[in-house]
Structure 1
Amino acid sequence: MRKEKNISVFLGLSDEGLDEQGGSFIREGDEKQLEHLEEFNRTQDYTLLQKLHS
């Protein structure tokens, strides 16, 4: 499903420079959600956002 709008949406994660050295706010097991986010940014396929809740 692709929403036909005149605006693109980009979703991302940023620690705003607040991370600890060697640390990450990305939890183990979240890799699939990150893949869906990255694919959404490339395709603007809104059905991928639904997969973030599963």
Structure 2
Amino acid sequence: MPDSENFNRATISKKFGSWNAALEYAGYEPNKERGVSEEKLIKELARLRDELGRPPTESRI
């Protein structure tokens, strides 16, 4: 099976109808937060960078 980083969000959404539907199918609770501020997004990118030790790829977000 190919590495999961070979699949992008659009491919997954097309297969399952939406990103949240794919998450639910996989047994995860989807994130229902809307209208996230730019500041919060930047903080999350920084947190992921610190956790991974490098800037996150699109598939890690």
TM-score bracket, normalised by the shorter chain, equals under 0.3
Question: TM-score with structure 1 length normalisation?
Answer: 0.25
| Structure with the largest fraction of helix | 2
Higher RCO (C-alpha under 8 Å, 6+ residues apart):
1
**TM-score w.r.t. length of structure 2:** 0.24
